[in-house]
Amino acid sequence: MLPTIDWQGDVIVMVDQRKLPAEEIYVRCHTAQEVARAIRTMVIRGAPAIGVAAAMGIALGLRRSTAKGTRQFAVEFQKICEMMGATRPTAVNLFWAIARMKRAFSEGALAGESPEELAGRLEREARAIHDEDVANCRSMGGFGAEVLPDGARVLTHCNAGALATAGYGSALGVIRAAVEQGKQIAVFADETRPFLQGARLTAWELVRDGINTTVITESMAGPLMRAGEIDVVIVGADRIAANGDTANKIGTYTVAVLAHEHKLPFYVAAPLSTIDLATPDGDHIPIEERDQREITHLRTWRLTPVGAKTRNPAFDVTPHRYIAGIITERGIFTPPYSESLPRAFDTIAPASAPPALPPSRRFGGTNRRGEPSI
Ligand code: MRU
């Protein structure tokens, strides 16, 4: 499996996603500060992956603590959590992972654990978050593969693959699962300006797995749909609001509108840690504005004239009405999402692996007449 992030002894090791595919370089983080910098500067990116990195970074920071007692240890813990929370604002998995680490800390503190014991507990929790994310991706793949018929030509945007998770991927996990079932799947990867996650990362992963991959620029998606060359769209997510509105990489909204115009199903694949029931709708999702240099330059090469203004919102929101289904580790949820999504959390036992469910679980809401929507 692809080595997105790994805990090796005293260091957290990540493949440098800024350098792929030209170079496969590994960044070794020795401190929580280094992990926070790696998230901020996109060494590691993708919603579930940054949640995992933050959890590991918190545990690493506390493992190196020289705090004399539990009180000082708690102050350090709080500071490190704040630093992680300030790295990137849109992907809710980051805040979900920090909240989970805080819960683990509180449980240990209530049990009267020493700083060493608390540090051990935090490390176990971070490792569990990592391992559960891989298992969740596999589950999503199992459920989601049913929406990809044999011979499907699938468009995806950005990178929602092994590199964006602890392994296997969300949207790309669904594609991988369909391929593992023996289906012939052809993938169109949007290049995804300005960071080129599609051209560099999605294509790299899929080609490594021997999956039929064609890179296109964003502007080609519409004409290809019109020409009947795409059957289905599947993307990942950074935050899904309670009503199903979904924040994902900038350009996703455009793809969703195009899919709607061409009557193509548009699916989102994301773990429950991406669903934020506390955010009512997409208007309340904070959208990160990144460095203008990502637009004005390609590495060291200046693209735009000095004096031209630029904008660089890193994410957009796709209204729920364009989304045919949300594929999670607990099944596929369909509209109306304000009814179906809360049910995803109905039977969740906190901090434990989800129970295995039979394949092909679909959860719909009810229509206006109170009948199941599917
Ligand atoms: O800015 P990035 O590269 O972190 O944005 C990533 C995305 O938008 C992904 O599509 C999303 O996080 C889903 S990853 C499984």
Domains and CATH numbers, the chain: 5-137 (1.20.120.420), 144-361 (3.40.50.10470)
Report CA(236)–ligand 1 centroid distance (Å). 7
Atom number in ligand 1 closest to CA 269: 15
Mean of the pLDDT values across residues 256-264? 98
The strand pairing partners of 313, in sequence order, are: 289
Best of 90, 176, 197, 275 for a ligand 1 pocket test (most atoms within 8 Å of beta carbon): 197
Q: Which of 3-12, 77-86, 193-202, 227-236 has the lowest mean pLDDT?
A: 3-12
pLDDT digits (tens, 9 = 90+) for 70-121: 999 999 999 999 999 999 999 999 999 999 999 999 999 999 999 999 999 9
Q: Tally the C-alpha atoms within 13 A of residue 241's C-alpha that lie toward its C-beta.
A: 20
Best of 248, 295, 329 for a ligand 1 pocket test (most atoms within 8 Å of beta carbon): 248
Atom number in ligand 1 closest to CA 47: 12
pLDDT of residue 372: 41
Active site residues: 238
Report CA(165)–ligand 1 centroid distance (Å). 9
pLDDT of residue 371: 41
Q: 264 pLDDT exceeds 60? A: yes
Q: If we measure between CA atoms, which residue out of 195, 200, 182, 186 comes closest to residue 155?
A: 186
Q: If we measure between CA atoms, which residue out of 108, 107, 123 comes closest to residue 57?
A: 123
45 Cβ inside 6 Å of ligand 1: yes
pLDDT of residue 257: 98
Q: How far apart (Å, rounded) are the C-alpha atoms in residues 243 and 281?
A: 6
358 vs 220: which has the higher pLDDT = 220
pLDDT digits (tens, 9 = 90+) for 124-181: 999 999 999 999 999 999 999 999 999 999 999 999 999 999 999 999 999 999 999 9
Mean of the pLDDT values across residues 236-255? 98
Best of 17, 45, 234 for a ligand 1 pocket test (most atoms within 8 Å of beta carbon): 45
Question: Residue 369: pLDDT band by 50, 70, 90 thresholds?
Answer: very low
pLDDT digits (tens, 9 = 90+) for 31-75: 999 999 999 999 999 999 999 999 999 999 999 899 989 999 999
Q: 28 pLDDT exceeds 80? A: yes
Question: Residue 346: pLDDT band by 50, 70, 90 thresholds?
Answer: confident
Q: 374 pLDDT exceeds 60? A: no
Torsion of Cα atoms, 134 then 138 then 139 then 145, to 10°: 150
Q: Going by C-beta distance under 8 Å and a sequence separation of 6 or more, which residues neighbour residue 71? A: none
Model-level pTM greater than 0.75?
Answer: yes
CA dist list (Å): 166 to 14, 16, 193, 216, 317: 11, 14, 24, 26, 24
190 Cβ inside 6 Å of ligand 1: no
| Backbone region of residue 9 per phi and psi (left: phi > 0; alpha: psi in -120 to 50; beta: other values) | left
pLDDT digits (tens, 9 = 90+) for 322-332: 999 999 999 99
CA dist list (Å): 126 to 9, 25, 123, 132, 263: 14, 23, 5, 10, 42
Coil, strand or helix at 372: strand
Coil, strand or helix at 111: coil
Q: How many CB atoms lie within 10 A of CB 369?
A: 5
Q: 350 pLDDT exceeds 80? A: no
104 Cβ inside 6 Å of ligand 1: no
Q: How far apart (Å, rounded) are the C-alpha atoms in residues 64 and 197?
A: 34
* Structure token pair of residue 132: 């559960």
Angle (CA) 26-208-219 rounded to 5° is: 95
249 Cβ inside 6 Å of ligand 1: yes
Unique residue bearing structure tokens 């683990």: 104
158 Cβ inside 6 Å of ligand 1: yes
Atom number in ligand 1 closest to CA 91: 12
pLDDT digits (tens, 9 = 90+) for 191-221: 999 999 999 999 999 999 999 999 999 999 9
Residue nearest to atom 15 of ligand 1 (CA): 160
pLDDT digits (tens, 9 = 90+) for 265-285: 999 999 999 999 999 999 999
Atom number in ligand 1 closest to CA 157: 10
Q: Which of 120-124, 225-229, 251-255, 348-352 has the lowest mean pLDDT?
A: 348-352
Atom number in ligand 1 closest to CA 236: 13
Q: How far apart (Å, rounded) are the C-alpha atoms in residues 181 and 175?
A: 10
What mean pLDDT value characterizes the chain? 93
pLDDT digits (tens, 9 = 90+) for 292-326: 999 999 989 999 999 999 999 999 999 999 999 99
pLDDT of residue 151: 98
Report CA(41)–ligand 1 centroid distance (Å). 14
236 Cβ inside 6 Å of ligand 1: yes
Compute the 3-state secondary structure of the chain and give helix, strand, coil in percent, each to the nearest 5: 45, 15, 40
